[in-house]
Amino acid sequence: MLEIKDLKKSFNGRQILNGVDLIVEDGEILSIVGPSGAGKTTLLRCITGLESADAGIFLIDGQPFDPQGTEESDAVIGVVFQDFNLFPHLSVLENITLAPMMVLKKSKDEANQKAAQLLEELGLTGLGDHYPYQLSGGQKQRVAIARALAMNPRILCYDEPTSALDPNLRDEVANLILSLKKEGMTQLVVTHDMDFANKIADKILKVQALDTKN
Amino acid sequence: MSFTYIMEILPSLFQGAGLTLQLFFWTLIGSLPLGIIVSLGLTSKIKPLKWVLEMYVWLMRGTPLLLQLIFVFYGLPIVGIVFQRYDAALVAFILNYAAYFAEIFRGGLQSISQGQYEGARVLRLSYWQTIRKIVIPQVVKIVIPSIGNEVINLIKDSSLVYVIGLGDLLRAGNVATSRDVTLVPLLLVGLIYLLMVGICTVILRWVEKRYSYYK
């Protein structure tokens, strides 16, 4: 269970997040929705440690963790970016195995085995030797998911998973996220697409723009 | 322009070419890594470090290499730093070329998107792991053509060492030309430079091709 209490963040004196609370139960999908500029992405960036929060408590199963920390106990969040941010110079397989080998110090065999299993689960069998530029948008996204899952995160976070893809792929993404839920993955999805959120989410958190200048 | 005359002077030209090549390789081995390190400093957020390195690049690119050679060999002994001729040449070349390489690498570094750093960061790669595994391989591909230009310049720039009395290829040709009152040695010198640059070009093409496996 991920629990965040009283998360605050401001940029240059402008309050973006003013005491956000959220809870994601194990195996649940939480969607964060709201108009652009409301701070959805900022919220996600604070949770994933890409931005430092001004204040707030982060708990995983009741244990505090630091999203920006480097301890093993801090490595609980996986991220699927809007533009995927795959490493273009590495093959699909290398994209997936790099961090497990360098950070978790897994052997090459072990990392490759896990990657092959993830590729199969995500319907990417046979694409291990391809490079990102050779993949379609949907395939890139699934590689990004595999790359994040290879680090055994407790929670998988998505930033606008539908916006870099063809509109007709929306249902495919929804099914993918729901199938990961069946596997027991806890997921947090930031989106501006209300229909999409309704389709996948167990809970929806609406973020409103704060227009207070301090 | 007899064949026997050419055979007579070739050994001394090759000897000169040997020094040129030595200087060339050691300069590259010293200045490429130094250039990468300086470029990381140039793009760092630590302002004083950035200023110092910008100053260094300005100094190295803003004055003639010939002048730098003279200063390292004749000037530094005044403050107690004495180099042998060859070492002085190497120091001047490495410092000068590292500055040019640093600027090229800086351009390459800045073309790597923030997303690549963030992708690495959420996978918990450390700064140095990110630089080594994600950033540098991509930067290398981007900068190869510009680096290649400088590498070819370096072969010819090495002829400047005559000013501190080192016997490189051009000097060997000059000596023979003024002794025998003929342009043949200089013609041969030109051909040897062309040959060296030609080989370099082929190697650079090959490296470029090796990096063309992704877009």
In the CATH scheme, what architecture does the domain B3-213 have?
Orthogonal Bundle (1.10)
Average pLDDT value for residue range A114-126: 94
Q: Which residues contact B213 (CB under 8 A, 6 or more apart)?
A: A131
Kindly list the residues from chain B whose CB atom is less than 8 angstroms away from the CB atom of residue A156: none
Cα–Cα distance measured from residue B136 to residue B128, given in angstroms and rounded to the nearest whole number: 10
Q: Which of A65, A66, A91, A102 to mutate to test the interface with B (most CBs of B within 10 A)?
A: A102
Res A189: pLDDT: 95
* Tokens 């929060």, located at residue: A53
Which candidate from B123, B134, B138 shows the least CB-CB separation from A103?
B123
Q: A193 and A41 in contact (C-beta within 8 Å)?
A: no
Which candidate from B115, B138, B213 shows the least CB-CB separation from A81?
B115
Res A14: pLDDT: 83
What's the pLDDT band for B100 if we cut at 50, 70, 90? very high
Res A167: pLDDT: 83
Average pLDDT value for residue range B6-11: 90
Residue A213 has pLDDT above 50, yes or no: no
Domains and CATH numbers, chain A: 1-76+154-214 (3.40.50.300), 83-141 (no CATH)
Share of chain A above pLDDT 70, in %: 97
Locate the domains of chain B by residue range. Answer: 3-213
Which one, of A181, A192, A175, A125, lies nearest residue A156 by Cα? A181
B144-181 confidence digits (pLDDT tens): 999 999 999 999 999 999 999 898 999 999 999 999 99
**SS3 assignment, position A187:** strand
Least confident of A151-160, A202-211, B120-129: A202-211
Residue of A nearest to B138 (CA): A89
When the pLDDT of each residue in chain A is averaged and rounded to a whole number, the result is: 90
Res A166: pLDDT: 85
Contact between A83 and B115 using a beta-carbon 8 Å cutoff: yes
Q: With an 8 Å Cβ cutoff, is B213 touching chain A?
A: yes
Q: Which of A87, A106, A154 to mutate to test the interface with B (most CBs of B within 10 A)?
A: A87
Q: B44 and B50 in contact (C-beta within 8 Å)?
A: yes
| Shortest Cα distance, chain B CAs vs residue A207, angstroms | 24
Kindly list the residues from chain A whose CB atom is less than 8 angstroms away from the CB atom of residue B137: 89
What's the pLDDT band for A210 if we cut at 50, 70, 90? low
This prediction's pTM: 0.84
Average pLDDT value for residue range B55-62: 97
Which one, of A122, A116, A114, A120, lies nearest residue A173 by Cα? A122
Contact between A102 and B125 using a beta-carbon 8 Å cutoff: yes
Least confident of A75-79, A119-123, B33-37, B61-65: A75-79
Res A76: pLDDT: 86
A16-63 confidence digits (pLDDT tens): 888 889 999 999 999 999 887 788 888 999 999 999 989 999 998 888
Res A214: pLDDT: 40
Answer positive or negative: Cα dihedral of A198, A201, A203, A205.
negative
Q: Which residues of A touch B (CB under 8 A)?
A: 48-50, 70, 75, 77-79, 81, 83, 85-89, 98-99, 102-103, 131-133, 147-148, 151
What is the DSSP annotation of A112-149?
Answer: HHHHHHHHHHTT-TT-TT--GGGS-HHHHHHHHHHHHH
Cα–Cα distance measured from residue A96 to residue A94, given in angstroms and rounded to the nearest whole number: 5
What's the pLDDT band for A66 if we cut at 50, 70, 90? confident
Answer positive or negative: Cα dihedral of B156, B160, B162, B167.
negative
The CA-atom distances, in angstroms, between A205 and each of A1, A12, A201 are 16, 25, 10
Cα–Cα distance measured from residue A149 to residue A185, given in angstroms and rounded to the nearest whole number: 10
Which candidate from B113, B123, B134 shows the least CB-CB separation from A151?
B123
Which candidate from B118, B124, B138 shows the least CB-CB separation from A50?
B118
ipTM: 0.91
